[in-house]
Amino acid sequence: MLAENSVRIRNEYCSKCLICSSICPFEAISIDKETGEILLNIEKCQVCGICFSACPSSSIDIAYYKTDILSEYIRRARKDNLILVCRGAVIRPELRERLEKQGVLNNFIQWYVPCIGRIPLELLLRALEGGVKRIVIVPCEDNKCRFKFGSNVGLSRLLLLQELLSQIGLNHGVLSFARSSIRAYINRNRCIGCGNCAYICPSNAARLVSPGVAEIDGAACSGCGACTAVCPSLAINLESFENKVILEEISRHRQLISDLRAKGLPAVAVFYCHWASFPALDEYGAYAKENVVFFEVPCSSIINPLYILRAFYEGFDGALVMACRKSECKFERGNELAERQVNAIKNLLRQVGLEGRLEICFVSPKYLGEAEHQIKLFMDKVAAMVGVSK
């Protein structure tokens, strides 16, 4: 399938300042020495959007979360407060409590973005101009940014904007930020000391300690969730993606599945890595479109056999895992671990007569329509297997 790139450089507007080239974390932007044109290597691009927010001539076009669209959304929402959270970050209880005391959680909008570094300052200024009273930014911790230094780039700009706002009479409280990153945590009372987490952890954050239970170093944990997928006692959970929460979300769509079945339509569950697919800002977590229900995960390696089994138990006709493309995993080899896990679950499903109902695909937000194409292929396959219309 020939897909359109989600990031484009419009050289007719470019001033050739080379800021985009100097700031790109993946060296995906260069200049043609003969023609002087700015070139984008889409294969290297990770769609972080840092170049987009840094371009002074607005000559970089990105398909996701355009400034004009977001500004209009804020204007129509008429909320007092705006909270922007990096996908790799989490609002922990202590931060939530602080925001509650400050009144930020009253009449607010909360959005998740791929990287805080891709937020143009123009958007924040427009939000304040449109009536937003407070803006809170929650970026990743600086050593855990999935786009190398996007978090630091974003915070540097925010500090400059804070200084600008103070010069026009607004205090720093109008714009604030708090670093945070998703981490795994363990219930030591449930741990059986099997060592699976220590074996699978790509960041060496998990280990076995005396008296034979696991321990997770929060500072080293990358937040992929691979350890939770292999824990036989469900002793490990990931912040904001707890096993109980995901399983409850799957069960919550029981009525929708029943309605689809009454209409002769197949129901498919799609577990998507939130770095592999960029849905609309108001479609995070679990949401449904037509006869597909989407469940957000921080990395495809978190896929627990229980999620898949629960999906089939609740009536889903098929389950698709959408992982990042090979060599593009934000956790180095999370997609490889996911593929291994999916293959193991396939063997289990084969034994209970559900062969072919589970697949994994590898996609990227850099190609528009790629994820939708994979979903359609899988939907066609499932519809043919269960003998219903698409």
Q: Is it the case that residue 134 has pLDDT exceeding 90?
A: yes
Instruction: Copy the structure tokens of residue 381.
Output: 């396959």
Going along 45-97, which residue ranges are E strands? 60-62, 81-86
Task: Please report the pLDDT score of residue 187 as a whole number.
Answer: 96
Give the contacts of 138 (CB within 8 A, at least 6 positions apart). Answer: 83, 84, 85, 86, 89, 90, 91, 95, 116, 177, 178, 179, 180
- Once rounded to an integer, what is the mean pLDDT over residues 233-252? 97
Q: Is it the case that residue 282 has pLDDT exceeding 80?
A: no
- Once rounded to an integer, what is the mean pLDDT over residues 122-146? 94
Confidence of residue 286 (pLDDT cuts 50, 70, 90): confident
- Once rounded to an integer, what is the mean pLDDT over residues 194-222? 94
b/e string for 175-185 if b means 16 or more Cβ within 10 A? Answer: bbbebbbbbbe
HSE toward the beta carbon, residue 214, CA cutoff 13 A: 32
Q: How many residues does the chain have?
A: 390
Confidence of residue 389 (pLDDT cuts 50, 70, 90): low
Give the separation between CA 274 and CA 111, rounded to whole angstroms: 13
Instruction: Find out whether 276 and 364 touch, Cβ atoms under 8 Å.
Output: yes
Assess whether the previous peptide bond of 211 is cis (omega < 30° from 0): yes
Please give the residue that has the higher pLDDT: either 286 or 255: 255
Work out the mean pLDDT of the chain and round it to a whole number. Answer: 93
Give the separation between CA 132 and CA 109, rounded to whole angstroms: 10
- Residue 73 burial (C-beta neighbours within 10 Å; 0-12, 13-18, 19+): middle
Give the separation between CA 166 and CA 146, rounded to whole angstroms: 31
Q: What are the beta bridge partners of residue 176?
A: 136
* Widest Cα–Cα separation across the chain: 68
282-288, Cβ contacts within 8 angstroms, sequence gap of 24 or more: 284/112, 285/249, 286/249, 286/250, 286/252, 286/253, 288/253, 288/256
- Once rounded to an integer, what is the mean pLDDT over residues 223-240? 97
* Cα 315 to the center of its chain, rounded Å: 26
Task: Please report the pLDDT score of residue 390 as a whole number.
Answer: 54
Please give the residue that has the higher pLDDT: either 373 or 211: 373
Q: Is it the case that residue 328 has pLDDT exceeding 80?
A: yes
Give the separation between CA 323 and CA 301, rounded to whole angstroms: 8
Q: What are the beta bridge partners of residue 11?
A: none
Please give the residue that has the higher pLDDT: either 157 or 281: 157
DSSP labels, 362-386: EE-TTEETHHHHHHHHHHHHHHHHH
Confidence of residue 2 (pLDDT cuts 50, 70, 90): low
Domains of the chain, earliest start first: 4-62 (3.30.70.20), 67-177 (no CATH), 187-238 (3.30.70.20), 243-386 (3.40.50)
Please write down the HEC assignment for all residues of 327-368. CCCCCCCHHHHHHHHHHHHHHHHHHCCCCCCEEEEEECCCEE
Give the separation between CA 366 and CA 52, rounded to whole angstroms: 14
Please give the residue that has the higher pLDDT: either 1 or 22: 22
Task: Please report the pLDDT score of residue 297 as a whole number.
Answer: 97
What is the SS3 assignment for 103? Answer: coil
Taking CA atoms, 321 is separated from 49, 291, 295, in Å, by 25, 16, 10
- Once rounded to an integer, what is the mean pLDDT over residues 110-128? 93
Q: Is it the case that residue 290 has pLDDT exceeding 90?
A: no
Instruction: Find out whether 136 and 110 touch, Cβ atoms under 8 Å.
Output: no
Give the separation between CA 362 and CA 160, rounded to whole angstroms: 39
Q: Is it the case that residue 323 has pLDDT exceeding 80?
A: yes
Task: Please report the pLDDT score of residue 303 as a whole number.
Answer: 97
Q: Is it the case that residue 104 has pLDDT exceeding 90?
A: yes
Q: What is the pLDDT of residues 151-189, one digit of tens each?
A: 999 999 999 999 989 888 887 789 999 999 999 999 999
- Once rounded to an integer, what is the mean pLDDT over residues 35-48? 95
Confidence of residue 1 (pLDDT cuts 50, 70, 90): low
Give the contacts of 384 (CB within 8 A, at least 6 positions apart). Answer: none
CA-based R_g, the chain, Å: 22
Residue with tokens 């990227």: 364
Give the separation between CA 142 and CA 75, rounded to whole angstroms: 31
Q: Is it the case that residue 388 has pLDDT exceeding 80?
A: no
